[in-house]
Structure 1
């Protein structure tokens, strides 16, 4: 298992923010600088409102080709095209897909051997993510699966042997196992990741 806990939807918001910032500074830097330097309640509210609009714009760019963003101090809204947004977020998304590729390889699998590629989290379900997965892994992500059930800390291993099966253990080992299981039968072990679950966890 691998992941980047520092990457998420806010990173995509930041990419759109930087795109808008660069556009504003090229047009006229003074209103933009004043907006972010002023600490009055009015400017604080305007910055918060702009942050909300950026999040909505990011979501809109997933299904529409153009958004219009009004920035205080500028007479006309800024136009952001879907292609500009996709180009801005491509480096961060590509790094995430490369992490997925390395994880699959470390598991000794190929993308074709995966049961499914499930996108979890609102940001991951934007079209640029699915497009990159399809291009790099040759797999169409599964959007129908329940993302809440797609993440696990480990995998169940060593299912119980069928009744009467020869397990290859001697009587001493079997007695020790039964003694350790005094509080109830140990049916499954858990293949875990260090520091994430109790290594003695059984159920």
Structure 2
């Protein structure tokens, strides 16, 4: 009896799917609107690709920074840090453009499909109007300025409370890893090449 019930459910489910209306194909006008939104969002799509490329590099940079402080002799740190930075720059220059190009190519089959499914033609027209408005463009152009202003204030106001916690975290990690304590940091004047007295 159970087998019959399962079989009946499967047959009914298949029949119900066959009776469901097929997705209506998009009109050429709607496809054109989706293409326009994708073109207007190309910069954002490329930024997503760049972030994906940079994520592993930033993680490696953090690990390398810790290793430099804990495992490399102080007199060799600067030279090794430069070599690591050169490798990271080479990686970003090699992988970044390819990833951005691939992201733009994937836009229609990912973001474009979602735009087509979730937005009506009227909504897409309204969205394009917003994206193309001079006020929106001005606001978008100011984003780096906004970020810089906020970051500078945030660092200035939180440095005194965050720095000791970063040092405590670093010491705890070093202790957990059973590594030698990091060498004391050089004063900024020495790092910047100030004349020695």
- TM-score w.r.t. structure 1 length? 0.25
Q: Where is the helix percentage greater, Structure 1 or Structure 2? A: 2
Q: Where is the strand percentage greater, Structure 1 or Structure 2? A: 1
- TM-score w.r.t. structure 2 length? 0.25
